[in-house]
Amino acid sequence: MRQAKNQAERNRAAAKRAARPKVIRICQYREKKDGPICGIKFEAKPRIGKNGADYGVHPNQRYCPKHATPAARAHGRWLNRNVERYKAYAIDYRDRNLVSVRKKQRIAAKAKRDRVAATLAARPADWMKKPIEYRIIGGELTSIDGQMGNRELAQRLDLSRIIKCPYASTWTIALSGAGRAANYISDIRKWMKRPGKTLTTK
Ligand SMILES: [Zn+2]
Protein backbone atom coordinates (compact mmCIF):
# COMPACT_ATOMS: atom_id res chain seq x y z
CA MET A 1 0.00 0.00 0.00
CA ARG A 2 2.66 2.47 1.08
CA GLN A 3 4.97 1.32 -1.72
CA ALA A 4 2.22 1.94 -4.28
CA LYS A 5 1.63 5.37 -2.77
CA ASN A 6 5.33 6.22 -2.90
CA GLN A 7 5.51 5.02 -6.48
CA ALA A 8 2.53 7.22 -7.39
CA GLU A 9 4.22 10.15 -5.66
CA ARG A 10 7.44 9.59 -7.63
CA ASN A 11 5.48 9.30 -10.88
CA ARG A 12 3.67 12.56 -10.18
CA ALA A 13 7.02 14.27 -9.43
CA ALA A 14 8.52 12.88 -12.64
CA ALA A 15 5.50 14.03 -14.66
CA LYS A 16 5.78 17.48 -13.10
CA ARG A 17 9.48 17.65 -14.00
CA ALA A 18 8.77 16.51 -17.56
CA ALA A 19 6.06 19.15 -17.95
CA ARG A 20 8.39 21.90 -16.80
CA PRO A 21 9.83 23.84 -19.77
CA LYS A 22 13.51 23.26 -20.44
CA VAL A 23 15.80 25.95 -19.10
CA ILE A 24 18.26 26.92 -21.83
CA ARG A 25 21.20 29.02 -20.72
CA ILE A 26 24.29 30.45 -22.36
CA CYS A 27 27.64 29.38 -20.94
CA GLN A 28 29.29 32.36 -19.21
CA TYR A 29 32.76 30.86 -18.94
CA ARG A 30 35.61 33.24 -19.78
CA GLU A 31 39.25 32.42 -20.42
CA LYS A 32 40.43 35.96 -19.64
CA LYS A 33 39.12 38.77 -17.49
CA ASP A 34 37.47 40.81 -20.25
CA GLY A 35 37.61 38.11 -22.93
CA PRO A 36 34.58 36.71 -24.76
CA ILE A 37 32.29 34.22 -23.03
CA CYS A 38 32.14 30.58 -24.18
CA GLY A 39 28.59 31.26 -25.47
CA ILE A 40 27.50 27.65 -25.98
CA LYS A 41 23.77 27.09 -25.26
CA PHE A 42 23.08 24.30 -22.79
CA GLU A 43 20.14 22.88 -20.89
CA ALA A 44 20.38 23.70 -17.20
CA LYS A 45 19.37 20.66 -15.17
CA PRO A 46 17.14 21.00 -12.11
CA ARG A 47 18.46 19.78 -8.78
CA ILE A 48 16.66 16.64 -7.60
CA GLY A 49 16.81 15.85 -3.88
CA LYS A 50 17.28 12.39 -2.36
CA ASN A 51 13.53 11.98 -1.91
CA GLY A 52 12.91 12.98 -5.52
CA ALA A 53 11.94 16.53 -4.65
CA ASP A 54 12.60 18.99 -7.46
CA TYR A 55 14.48 22.05 -6.28
CA GLY A 56 14.50 23.68 -9.69
CA VAL A 57 17.41 25.08 -11.65
CA HIS A 58 19.98 26.88 -9.56
CA PRO A 59 20.64 30.51 -10.61
CA ASN A 60 24.40 29.86 -10.34
CA GLN A 61 24.33 27.15 -12.99
CA ARG A 62 26.03 29.24 -15.66
CA TYR A 63 28.47 26.86 -17.32
CA CYS A 64 28.03 24.33 -20.12
CA PRO A 65 28.86 20.67 -19.27
CA LYS A 66 32.42 21.14 -20.56
CA HIS A 67 33.02 24.08 -18.21
CA ALA A 68 31.00 22.86 -15.24
CA THR A 69 34.16 21.47 -13.64
CA PRO A 70 35.69 22.46 -10.30
CA ALA A 71 38.78 23.82 -12.09
CA ALA A 72 36.73 26.01 -14.46
CA ARG A 73 34.59 27.31 -11.60
CA ALA A 74 37.70 28.08 -9.56
CA HIS A 75 39.13 29.92 -12.58
CA GLY A 76 35.92 31.98 -12.77
CA ARG A 77 36.17 32.88 -9.09
CA TRP A 78 39.82 33.84 -9.58
CA LEU A 79 38.90 36.21 -12.46
CA ASN A 80 36.17 37.78 -10.34
CA ARG A 81 38.34 38.10 -7.25
CA ASN A 82 38.55 41.37 -5.41
CA VAL A 83 42.03 42.50 -6.46
CA GLU A 84 42.15 45.35 -3.93
CA ARG A 85 41.37 42.95 -1.11
CA TYR A 86 44.11 40.55 -2.25
CA LYS A 87 46.62 43.40 -2.40
CA ALA A 88 45.60 44.62 1.05
CA TYR A 89 45.97 41.09 2.37
CA ALA A 90 49.43 40.72 0.81
CA ILE A 91 50.58 44.03 2.35
CA ASP A 92 49.13 43.04 5.71
CA TYR A 93 50.86 39.64 5.53
CA ARG A 94 54.19 41.32 4.78
CA ASP A 95 53.78 43.71 7.73
CA ARG A 96 52.96 40.92 10.14
CA ASN A 97 55.76 38.60 8.91
CA LEU A 98 58.40 41.13 7.94
CA VAL A 99 61.36 39.18 9.41
CA SER A 100 60.58 35.90 7.66
CA VAL A 101 59.53 37.64 4.43
CA ARG A 102 62.86 39.50 4.29
CA LYS A 103 64.76 36.31 5.06
CA LYS A 104 63.02 34.52 2.17
CA GLN A 105 63.80 37.45 -0.14
CA ARG A 106 67.49 37.39 0.89
CA ILE A 107 67.70 33.64 0.22
CA ALA A 108 65.98 34.01 -3.16
CA ALA A 109 68.24 36.94 -4.14
CA LYS A 110 71.37 35.00 -3.18
CA ALA A 111 70.19 31.94 -5.15
CA LYS A 112 69.66 34.18 -8.17
CA ARG A 113 73.13 35.77 -7.82
CA ASP A 114 74.65 32.29 -7.51
CA ARG A 115 72.86 31.11 -10.65
CA VAL A 116 74.10 34.11 -12.62
CA ALA A 117 77.66 33.65 -11.26
CA ALA A 118 77.63 29.96 -12.22
CA THR A 119 76.41 30.79 -15.73
CA LEU A 120 79.14 33.42 -16.16
CA ALA A 121 81.81 31.08 -14.75
CA ALA A 122 80.86 28.37 -17.27
CA ARG A 123 81.58 30.74 -20.18
CA PRO A 124 84.99 30.69 -21.87
CA ALA A 125 87.17 33.78 -21.36
CA ASP A 126 86.76 34.86 -25.02
CA TRP A 127 82.95 34.63 -24.85
CA MET A 128 82.25 38.11 -26.22
CA LYS A 129 84.82 37.75 -29.03
CA LYS A 130 83.01 34.79 -30.66
CA PRO A 131 80.15 35.13 -33.17
CA ILE A 132 76.66 35.30 -31.69
CA GLU A 133 75.79 31.84 -33.13
CA TYR A 134 78.57 30.41 -30.94
CA ARG A 135 77.15 32.14 -27.88
CA ILE A 136 73.58 31.02 -28.57
CA ILE A 137 74.49 27.39 -29.25
CA GLY A 138 77.02 27.41 -26.38
CA GLY A 139 74.37 28.77 -24.05
CA GLU A 140 71.99 26.04 -25.18
CA LEU A 141 74.61 23.34 -24.55
CA THR A 142 75.10 24.55 -20.97
CA SER A 143 71.39 25.10 -20.29
CA ILE A 144 71.00 21.63 -18.77
CA ASP A 145 73.11 20.00 -16.07
CA GLY A 146 74.03 16.84 -17.96
CA GLN A 147 75.30 16.12 -21.46
CA MET A 148 73.25 17.25 -24.42
CA GLY A 149 73.44 15.08 -27.51
CA ASN A 150 73.40 16.48 -31.05
CA ARG A 151 69.88 15.19 -31.58
CA GLU A 152 68.48 17.07 -28.60
CA LEU A 153 70.50 20.18 -29.47
CA ALA A 154 69.13 20.08 -33.03
CA GLN A 155 65.55 19.79 -31.77
CA ARG A 156 66.05 22.75 -29.44
CA LEU A 157 67.60 24.90 -32.17
CA ASP A 158 64.82 24.04 -34.65
CA LEU A 159 62.10 24.77 -32.09
CA SER A 160 63.60 28.11 -31.03
CA ARG A 161 63.97 29.26 -34.67
CA ILE A 162 66.61 31.77 -33.54
CA ILE A 163 69.37 30.54 -35.83
CA LYS A 164 68.57 29.10 -39.23
CA CYS A 165 70.71 26.10 -40.10
CA PRO A 166 73.14 27.09 -42.90
CA TYR A 167 73.86 23.46 -43.85
CA ALA A 168 70.36 21.98 -44.43
CA SER A 169 66.70 22.93 -44.15
CA THR A 170 66.70 22.04 -40.44
CA TRP A 171 69.30 21.39 -37.76
CA THR A 172 67.75 17.97 -37.17
CA ILE A 173 68.52 16.93 -40.76
CA ALA A 174 71.96 18.54 -40.78
CA LEU A 175 73.00 16.94 -37.47
CA SER A 176 71.61 13.46 -38.18
CA GLY A 177 75.10 12.26 -39.09
CA ALA A 178 78.67 13.37 -39.65
CA GLY A 179 79.36 16.36 -41.88
CA ARG A 180 80.02 20.07 -41.87
CA ALA A 181 77.19 20.81 -39.42
CA ALA A 182 78.48 18.17 -36.99
CA ASN A 183 82.00 19.62 -37.28
CA TYR A 184 80.67 23.12 -36.64
CA ILE A 185 78.87 21.94 -33.46
CA SER A 186 81.95 19.98 -32.48
CA ASP A 187 84.03 23.21 -32.57
CA ILE A 188 81.50 24.92 -30.29
CA ARG A 189 81.52 21.92 -27.95
CA LYS A 190 85.33 22.10 -27.67
CA TRP A 191 85.15 25.84 -27.04
CA MET A 192 82.50 25.35 -24.31
CA LYS A 193 84.21 22.20 -22.95
CA ARG A 194 80.89 20.38 -23.41
CA PRO A 195 81.58 17.15 -25.29
CA GLY A 196 78.69 15.32 -26.90
CA LYS A 197 77.84 11.70 -26.48
CA THR A 198 80.49 9.49 -28.08
CA LEU A 199 79.35 8.44 -31.52
CA THR A 200 79.26 4.70 -32.08
CA THR A 201 79.72 5.13 -35.83
CA LYS A 202 82.90 6.87 -36.84
ZN1 LIG B 1 31.26 26.69 -21.94
Instruction: Give residue limits of the domains in the chain.
Output: 2-79, 83-121, 127-192
Say what the pLDDT of residue 145 is. Answer: 84
Alpha carbon of 34 to ligand 1 centroid (Å)? 16
Buried-state track 23-43, b at ≥16 Cβ within 10 A, e below 16: eebebebbeeeeeeebeeebe
Residue 199 to residue 185: CA distance in whole angstroms: 14
User: Consecutive 10-residue runs of the chain (202 residues): their mean pLDDT?
Assistant: 86 77 91 92 89 83 93 91 93 96 97 93 92 94 90 94 92 93 95 77 42
Alpha carbon of 69 to ligand 1 centroid (Å)? 10
Residue 129 to residue 167: CA distance in whole angstroms: 23
Say what the pLDDT of residue 19 is. Answer: 73
Alpha carbon of 42 to ligand 1 centroid (Å)? 9
Distance of CA 148 to the CA centre of its chain: 25
Q: Is the dihedral of CA 143, 144, 150, 153 positive or negative?
A: negative
Alpha carbon of 61 to ligand 1 centroid (Å)? 11
